[in-house]
A = this chain, B = another copy of it.
Amino acid sequence: MAQQDKHAISPRRDEDYPEWYQQVVGAAELAEPSSVRGCMVIKPWGYSLWERIQAGLDAMFKATGHVNAYFPLFIPLSYLEKEAEHVEGFAKECAVVTHHRLEAGPDGKLVPAGKLDEPLIVRPTSETIIGAAYAKWVQSYRDLPILINQWANVVRWELRTRLFLRTAEFLWQEGHTAHETSDEAWVETRKILDVYKTFAEEHLAMPVLAGEKTPGQRFPGAVSTLCIEAMMQDRKALQAGTSHFLGQNFAKASGIVYQTREGGREFAWTTSWGVSTRLIGGLVMVHGDDDGMVVPPRVAPSHVVLLPIVRKEQERAPIMNYCESLAAALRARSYHGAPVGVVIDGRDMNAGEKGWQWIKRGIPLRVEVGPRDMEKGAVFAGRRDKGPREKASQSREAFVAGIAATLDEIQQNLRERAAAFQAAHTRAIDAWDDFAAFFTPANAEKPEIHGGFAMAHWCDGAACEGKIADQLTVTIRCVPLDRGQGGPGKCIVCGKASSGRVVFAKAY
């Protein structure tokens, strides 16, 4: 095999995409399974991605008038039961606390003791426990709106788990707002969808389609669920964020009642919305390549790694000094409001191996610093969005002066590449046979990557939706908010009237 065909990750994406994903998550040191069923350990490099996601989103939430707070981890069973669809949606997969201490059993081993009068559920989401607080806080229309977000861990006892994409415990943010009118709550629901879309596209370089879920795919208890959907490199969709208009359902369940301007009494209108550590899985699957992770600069924990190339011991001190001064010069530059992040990796190990470690982690820029670079005042840099052997020398001054522009160029390149990929695999389809063929691999024994986003007409009927799901494991990812724009047509299944195309895809 020629040198240029070798890749750091095996299998390649086109060989076995799910296994490639697991390998990248491991090789990039993002996370690993824990010995606790379904829970993961988020390793420092993976967690620092989450910190960058948190920082970016938190600033956007605050800029749109939201504040953070914190509510209890445990939800009394009776609270969860207050909203019928809601408890139905979560009862099958929740961690139940039944005891509050341990004591030695008959054989001397510790067993649960101190049985609780009422079981507590480890929150799978917090509508009901937060609703109980809002019911106390809200008396009058003057107390509205309440615009609160919470950064927290939640637990959903998934039986089949996958790092970041589906784990029993995950980290997320959940916004919970209460409003005076239906209109205001709708404005909020859409505003947050915009925040998510902007964040996904500008920070994560991840193009998304925004729209509304069909009734069958709604959050349990919601009147409407809006979502953003991204296309992974296996052409499946990933639901990357949801914003729910809850109507008065949860206000009725929790008793959030306010005195209106006219002196009457009315239930509040509420919303909830969230994104989770699942976004990290999305980053891997949108930008990763056969050499590992590729981190968009805007969410990169560090932007540049300096790799001192020390061949003789007496070179070490001057090269390290050169690296320190280069790092200081780079850190003095700003990238989107914060200093450029620089790591000097001075570990005493094989230089090639060290370089590949950073390629696999996906840091945007690698700079090798050897004695000749130092003498020439040059840097020898490789960009992660280009091939691993594509490196170029330039003057230190030019590199430092252009650092923010280079990072923006990488960010832009990743976004355009992902948008082109999505466009290439999005197709308007009008005939059932074409639709079925689009979602069926040519060779069932060894299915190649296939499908994508099919823009097709739908009669709004649950029967047609169900038929497609059963026959092709394809779901309606969303109904575009501007559905009508492309004009009406006929349902891809039954041929009845459709007001516009909706987005079909296989999904995570």
B-binding residues in A (CB < 8 A): 32, 34-36, 39-44, 46-48, 50-51, 67-77, 79, 81, 87, 91-103, 110-112, 114, 119-122, 129, 132-133, 136, 148, 152-153, 155, 157, 169, 171
Q: A44-B67, A98-B99 are in contact. List 18 more A-B contacts (CB 8 A).
A: A34-B132, A34-B133, A35-B132, A36-B120, A42-B70, A43-B69, A44-B68, A47-B67, A47-B68, A47-B69, A50-B70, A73-B122, A93-B101, A97-B98, A98-B98, A112-B119, A152-B153, A153-B153
Q: Is the CB of B93 within 8 A of A96?
A: no
Cα distance, A353 to B489, chains bound together (Å): 61
Count of chain copies: 2
| Interchain residue pairs A-B with the least CB separation, the first 5 | A39-B72, A44-B67, A42-B70, A91-B102, A96-B99
Min CB gap A508→B, angstroms? 21
Residues of chain B lying within 8 A (CB to CB) of residue A93: 100-101
Q: Is the CB of A171 within 8 A of B110?
A: no
Min CB gap A169→B, angstroms? 5
Question: Among B41, B76, B114, B157, which residue has its beta carbon within 8 angstroms of that of A69?
Answer: B41
Which partner residue on chain B sits nearest A147 by CB separation?
Answer: B44
Residues of chain B lying within 8 A (CB to CB) of residue A97: 95-98, 122
Cα distance, A248 to B98, chains bound together (Å): 34
Cα distance, A308 to B129, chains bound together (Å): 36
Cα distance, A70 to B42, chains bound together (Å): 5
Q: Is the CB of A112 within 8 A of B91?
A: no
Residues of chain B lying within 8 A (CB to CB) of residue A51: 68
Residues of chain B lying within 8 A (CB to CB) of residue A70: 41-42, 47, 50, 171
Given A39-B72, A112-B96, decide whether A129 and B34 contact each other with a Cβ distance below 8 A: yes
